[in-house]
Amino acid sequence: MPTDCLFRDDAYLTDCSATVLGITDQGGMVLDRTVFYATSGGQPGDRGLLVTAAGAEVPLTTAVYIDSAKSEIAHVPAEAAAPPGIGEGVKLNIDWDLRYRRMRMHTAMHLLSAILPYPVTGGSVGEAESRLDFDIPEAGLDKDEITAKLAEMIAADAEVSARWISDEELAASPGLVKTMSVTPPMGTGRVRLIEIAGFDLQPCGGTHVRRTSEIGAVRVTQIEKKGKLNRRVRLALV
């Protein structure tokens, strides 16, 4: 049974109640709904707390998808704890400070991909530092110039919004997909598009802030050469 991913409709939800559907062999707890973002698209799964019906607190280190269709999420406990019973009601709470930093970073990565309109071959979102790898044969990228452009887009306070389109609509607009290594999840009939008004539009299942001003100050810290055709751009929250 699929997990209802509440973070997709509201990335600002920090807690919810849920029902235990199952326990994986590794002790991961599968729930009917969750506010925990599950590791995907270069963004790590959320950390936080699960509180059982009896009031026991179970620290969770991350959340992961356990099926290839990315519909079921297991919540991974920090240490082996007596698992809650199937059907038991529990409460979930994410580490909001950590998640919010990742949301700011993740949204900044969209802006970076708009400034550098090249195919993206990889990337990762971290709370302190993030990176995107671009397929660019020629260097000539300037850290300070990119940092200044990011600052402009952040100061513009552009709205970030999500909408869903059908697989067919996406297939008709292949230019929307920038990331060669991460194809958007298709097959469920619909794909989530993230638009940063005036700057960027691409399929993405991650968590984002509502307006670019929330990103705050960011800085390009390093541009590395990764093989002949790749440049790795590192970004940090200031």
- The distance of closest approach from Cβ of residue 118 to Zn ion in the complex, given in angstroms and rounded to an integer, is 17
Count of residues near Zn ion by CB under 5 A: 2
Whole-number minimum distance, CB 50 to Zn ion, in Å? Answer: 26
| Nearest to Zn ion of 58, 114 (CB atom) | 114
Window contacting Zn ion (CB under 5 A); options: 89-97, 154-162, 170-178, 199-207: 199-207
Between residues 11 and 30, which has the closer beta carbon with respect to Zn ion? 11
- Which three-class secondary structure state does DSSP give residue 88? coil
CA distance 48 to 64: 13
Cβ within 8 Å of residue 152, ≥6 positions away: none
| Site for Zn ion contains 206 (CB under 5 A) | yes
Q: Which of 61-69, 139-147, 152-160, 202-210 is the region at the interface with Zn ion (rule: CB under 5 A)?
A: 202-210
- For Zn ion, the closer of residues 23 and 197 by Cβ is 197
CB within 8 A of 15, min separation 6: which ones? Answer: 35, 91, 92, 93, 94
Give the C-alpha separation, 162 to 210, whole Å.
10
Angle at 27 between CA 24 and CA 31, to 5 degrees: 60
Least distance CB 52 / Zn ion (angstroms): 33
Site string for Zn ion, 83-102 (x = CB under 5 A): --------------------
Sign of CA dihedral 58, 60, 66, 69: positive
Which of residues 50 and 204 has its CB atom nearest to Zn ion in the complex? 204
Residues 145-184, one symbol each (x = binds Zn ion by CB under 5 A, - = not), give ----------------------------------------
Which residue, judged by CB position, is nearest to Zn ion in the bound state? 204
Least CB distance from residue 206 to Zn ion, whole Å?
A: 4
Contacts of residue 61, Cβ cutoff 8 Å, sequence gap at least 6: 47, 76, 77, 78
- Tokens linked to 20: 């235990």
Q: 10 Å Cβ neighbour count for 81? A: 15
Residue 114 in contact with Zn ion, rule: CB under 5 A:
no
d(CA 193, CA 97): 25
- The nearer residue to Zn ion, 29 or 99, going by C-beta atoms, is 99
Give the rounded distance of the alpha carbon of 156 from its chain centre: 23
For residue 39 the two structure tokens come to 């590791």
Q: Are 133 and 158 in contact (CB under 8 A)?
A: no
**Which lies closer to Zn ion via its Cβ, residue 41 or residue 84?**
41
Interface with Zn ion, residue 42, by CB under 5 A: no
- Any contact of residue 204 with Zn ion (CB under 5 A)? yes
In the complex, the residues that contact Zn ion under the rule CB under 5 A are 204, 206
